[in-house]
Structure formats: C-alpha cells, structure tokens
Amino acid sequence: MSSTSDALPLLQIGGPAGSAPTGGGCGDACGCAGDDGSSGIDPLTCGLDPDLAALLVAAGLDPVQVEDIAHLAVEEDLDQGVDITTVATIPADAVASGDFTAREAGTVAGLRIAEAVLSLVCTEEFAVERHVEDGDRVAAGTKLLTVTTRTRDLLTAERSALNLLCRLSGIATATRAWADVLEGTKAKVRDTRKTTPGLRALEKFAVRCGGGVNHRMSLSDAALIKDNHVVAAGGVAAAFAAVQEEFPGVPIEVEVDRLDQIPPILAQGVELILLDNFTPEQTREAVELVDGRAMLESSGRLTLDNARTYAETGVDYLAVGALTHSSPILDIGLDLREDEEDREGEEDREGEEDAGSSAVVPDSAPAPDPAPAVAHADPREGR
C-alpha cells in the first residue's frame, strides 16, 4: 500500500505559457547532468506550472522534455481536430471530478507526467488531489489522483495521460519485482538503452521509481565496449586502449564473454566489466578473479528465478533490458464521479419504478423476459 499521507496538498495547475532551454539530468550520476550535478533547468521558465515543473526537476526529469512528450501524445490523439465524441455528448461548461485508480496491485510511476498532459489539455485552472506518490506500492482499487476540471478536457486528456501512466507504472512494477528478489545482497538491478524511442528519460525514471538504477542515458555519457567494437578494433585490450586515448577520463565499461579476457583489461585499469552470458559458476570465478579491482555487471541468462543466485556470486549489477523493452503495463483507469444530485434522482426514480411494479405473476403465466441490458460505453474503449 501507499506509504504516502492520505492528505497530500491540492495543486492548482493552468495551461502552458512559454518555453525553456533544454537540459536536466537523471540524478544517478551517469553524466547527463551539468558539471556541478545540477539539472540546469529553471522550473520558473518552463511552460508547465512552476510547482509541477519543480517537482519534475526534483525527480531528475527535464520539465521541457516532459512537456514536449505530453504535447506529442495529445497532438497524436487529436490529429489537428477535436474529440468528436466528447464535444458531442458533454456541454462545454460541464465540470466533473475523476479518479485515476489502480485496477491491479503494483508500483506507481508517472503521476506528474499525467498531470503534465492534463495541464496541456485543460482550458482553465484545474485541481489535482494526490493520494499517492511515484514509487509507492499500491493495492488494486487504490485511488492515485483525483482531478476536478471541465469534463470535456478531462476526457480528452484521459487516454494520453493513461497511456504514459500505465506504461511507466508497468516498468516500475516489473523493476520492483527484481529489486525485491535482490534485497539483502549488494547487487542492484540496472536498465539498458533498450527503451522506447523518445521515452528513454521517462522509462529510466520509472526504473528508479521501482528501486532500480540507471545505466548510461546516452551513447555520449560513457563508453561500453561490446563484441562488435572488439571485432572492429582487433581485440578487447585494443578497443579499451583506443577509447582511453580518444576520450581520456570518460567512464569505460567492457563486455567480455570469456574469463581469459578479464586479466588484460584489469591490467589496463578497467573500472567496470560486463559479464555476457556467464553461468552462475563462471560468474563466481570472475568475481574471485577480479577480487574487488573492478565492478562487475551480469547480463544475459537472467530471470527472476535465478536473479538471486547471480546476485549472491558477488556481482554489483544485474543488467535487465526487459525492464523497459517488454514490461506489461499496470492497469490504471479513470472513473468520473457521478454527480450527487443525478445519483439521488436516479435512486428516486428506481424506487418509484419498484413501487409501481408489485403485480404478482400467476404461477401458470410465463415469466417475463428479463429487461435488455443497457450498454454503457466506456470512454476508454476505442481510444
């Protein structure tokens, strides 16, 4: 369940107004932040609400990038038009409250991203009540956010907000499962660059929400010498020396698939070695061979069932590409709260109908056919 207080503050958010310079960092010392470790972003210059932008910065996200992604999601959904169904069925001045609710248990990530989508669509100020926070474990049925705004805006933003929220929460939930298995060992589950194009920063944020740590954010953050680099350079040691010469001071990780490749790069001063498709026994041998002179990361052959076995060999990281390339979504939905007066009126009408239908059907008479079911279209369907 959520570890967050039930009485989180309301946040009033308006629409975007302006733009800001790019920048930012993930907060994991991977090299994507500024030289001083700061995000490089002034939340007051972002187009999003300043309070929301500040929360994104605190989470290691670039609010300008988040705003751009939210814009893309909404523009894709509207395709330069309008939400036909919503405009046709809902008065322009109607206001409603809706609950973003977890349909299943999991770990939440992306609540502020969903708020960013809402802030772009909502034509007037709206209220958000936060019931949980990113990184919280929740049970099925837990309310995550309650939003009050114009009904048209809420339903127009619904699918774009949910697509991102469900995707990121699915990644956080999957990561949490790995983190739980590794608890009590020194090993951490780590992501890869196998991310959805355009969503890397958000998906790596979701990994952090689930208790994982980030590998490099981009090719320019650090060097990772893999098999194709080794072939092109003429060997592991040659590839390592080439990177050292061309980019002195840049962090270098070297992938090896045999134990005999380790001693030469240890002699060259490698700081991180990726053990590719090693068995647990081979991994244990590698740990003994390295003897603390470099950090070790296991990759390949990893499953939740054998993760702890690998962790107990003494490696520092388990690299799991599946966290971002194949995690299922966490099922989250938006439910409009029924207007109190409408609900009371409906209950009164149902009571009158029940009182007027008390005629007894004789035993010899055929039973009446059941009333046909009324199809209530789910606003999420078909979007």
To the query of whether residue 226 is one of the catalytic residues in this protein, the response is yes
Least confident of 185-199, 261-275, 329-343, 351-365: 351-365
Give the domains, in start order, of the chain with CATH numbers. 10-180+328-335 (3.90.1170.20), 182-325 (3.20.20.70)
Q: How confident is the model at residue 259 (pLDDT cuts 50, 70, 90)?
A: very high
Alpha carbon of residue 277 to chain centroid: 28
Q: Percent of the chain having pLDDT more than 90?
A: 74
Distance CA 212, CA 204 (A): 9
Are 150 and 94 a contacting pair, CB within 8 Å? yes
**Contact (Cβ atoms closer than 8 angstroms) between residue 380 and residue 162:** yes
7-60 confidence digits (pLDDT tens): 444 443 444 333 333 333 333 333 344 445 455 555 555 688 899 999 999 999
Is 255 annotated as catalytic? yes
Which of the following is catalytic: 112, 152, 159, 208? 159
pLDDT of residue 305: 98
Confirm whether 194 is a catalytic residue: yes
What confidence tens digit (pLDDT) does each residue in 291-303 have? 999 999 999 999 9
What single-letter amino acid sits at 325?
A: H
Per-residue pLDDT tens for 208-230? 999 999 999 999 999 999 999 99
pLDDT for residue 345 = 54
> Rounded to whole angstroms, what are the CA distances from 269 to 150, 187, 260?
61, 22, 16
pLDDT at 261 over 50: yes
Residue 72: count other Cβ atoms within 10 Å of its Cβ.
Answer: 12
pTM: 0.79
Active-site residue identified among 276, 285, 312, 339: 276
